[in-house]
Structure 1
Amino acid sequence: MNILLDQGWSEIDSKLVKNYVLPNFAEGINFINLIANEAEKADHHPDLKLYNYKNVRISLTTHSKRRITKKDIALAKTIDHIYDSMKVY
């Protein structure tokens, strides 16, 4: 999990949390939809929040375990990959 913390993820209240900034509202929605597709495949669903029209906050935890698990770590890596592949910096 240390590698995730080095990549901007934080551990807050037994959750992995990260904020992303997209170029605009449409790209924020696109990012959320791409995450949703991968979350469905993994049968693991993060909390997603779009705020200030182009900011996305991701919160990952395994609710049944009340802690961060391997599923959260795997999905966090996938989310970072999605963002990186969007070339939105």
Structure 2
Amino acid sequence: MEKLSEQEIQEQLATVPKWKLTEEKWIERKYRFQEYLNGIEFVQMVANLSEKANHHPFISIDYKLVTLKITSWHAKGLTALDFDLANKYDELFLQIKKG
């Protein structure tokens, strides 16, 4: 996948409103959970999805707060795949919240 231009990144950010651009090459989001184990379940779901896509985020677990940070190393920046996965991670989060 090709690296997105600054304009394309801004357009894509509008599709994932809770994600933020950091260091010009990452997108990041923090997810807060009611229970610690819900966050762990979410991380497992993210890991499974990421493994299938062969595209892995940085994951930080701070008690009930999970932070995901993603970029495309081979493109040296953000690609459409990063934003596609961000949307899918958000869907997983909603599944956990409803469950």
Please, what TM-score do these two structures have when normalized by structure 1? 0.90
How many angstroms does 1:64 deviate by?
A: 1.6
1:56-75 alpha-carbon deviations (Å, 9 max, x no partner): 00001001212110110111
What is residue 3 of structure 1 aligned with on the other side?
15
Residue of structure 2 aligned with 1:62, choices 68, 72, 91: 72
CA distance in 1, matches of 2:94, 2:54: 22
Which entry has the higher C-alpha Rg, 1 or 2? Answer: 2
**Corresponding residue pairs, total:** 85
| 2: CA distance, partners of 1:17 / 1:57 | 7
Aligned residue number for residue 7 of structure 2 = none
- 1:48 matched residue in structure 2: 59
The reply on whether 1:75 has 2:85 as its aligned counterpart is yes
Moved over 2 A (4+): none
Query: 2:76 & 2:58 partners in 1: Cα distance?
Result: 14
Counterparts of 1:70 and 1:17, CA distance in 2: 15
Q: Output the aligned Cα RMSD.
A: 1.0
Return the alpha-carbon distance in structure 2 between the equivalents of residues 34 and 77 of structure 1.
14
Q: Identity of paired residues, percent?
A: 27
TM-score by length of 2: 0.81
- Answering whether residue 11 of structure 2 is matched by residue 30 of structure 1, we say no
Q: Which runs of 5+ in 1 are unaligned?
A: none
Instruction: Name the amino acid aligned to 1:70.
Output: A
